[in-house]
Amino acid sequence: MQVERLAALSDNYIFLLHDPTRNIAAVVDPAEAGPVLKRLAELNAELVTIFNTHHHSDHVGGNRQLLEKFPEVTVYGGSEDRGRIPGQQVFLSQGDRVKFGARSGEVFFVPGHTKAHIAYYFPPETEDQIGELFCGDTLFAGGCGRLFEGTPQQMVNSLTKLRSLPDHTRVWCAHEYTLKNLKFALTVDEKNSDLKNRFEQVKMARSRDEATVPSTIGLEKLTNPFFRWDDPALQSRVKSQDPVQSFARLRGMKDQF
């Protein structure tokens, strides 16, 4: 399974999964159809699956046009997003399994950004593979999603699930928010040398218009304050030793940043 990152809208990423042995493709969160159709034509590949993480229009906006072109496509989404994802046929819950080509993936229920948000994790199946996490707007490089429909407790629970994945897991998050996220992170975790180094690398990459996605779980554990709500230095910064309150205060500070 090859993963390709397609830029869309102003700062979205769509992820195209390609199985070259069968020349089939799946797409994660097609914000718009154009970039997907263009790449499928270049690959001469058939789209068979749409994996949606949540119902927001900048993640499902391309569904209907893709279904017009490929009417046999199966559309996946969260069980609690019923009626909110165009064309959805499969309704997934925590622990469900999905397949694409030869790879099998696990579904995580990760509410917080929305009440029905899910993520897809494809673990490595051979020694030469790495895990692939498609987390929508729950986890970002250096940040996490705003709490539009969920609670701080839900988001802490959701991020805890993702934080437990192997460090080398690639994190395919759906927006190019990394530089701004790290600017905020430095205001609450200014003594973190790993964060300082990452910020300089990201600043240089963005000056060249290079993407900063994917990240890795290991890098997020070192530098993302929303993976570090239980770190004593950050808890001291937000004046709380309660994990959920620490997270909520960090998220509130980021909302005002």
Q: Which residues are catalytic?
A: 54, 56, 58-59, 113, 137, 175
Helix (H) or strand (E) holding 147: none
Pairing of the two strands 170-173 and 132-136: parallel
Q: Which of 193, 177, 257, 188 is nearest to 226 (CA)?
A: 188
Compute the distance between CA of residue 94 and CA of residue 197 in angstroms, rounded to an integer.
36
Tokens 């729950």: give the residue: 138
CB atoms within 10 A of CB 62: 24
* Beta carbons within 8 Å of 96's beta carbon, 6+ residues apart: 106, 107
Using DSSP's 3-state secondary structure scheme, residue 242 falls into coil
Gap between the terminal Cα atoms of the chain: 38
Compute the distance between CA of residue 73 and CA of residue 49 in angstroms, rounded to an integer.
5
Compute the distance between CA of residue 2 and CA of residue 82 in angstroms, rounded to an integer.
29
Compute the distance between CA of residue 234 and CA of residue 229 in angstroms, rounded to an integer.
7
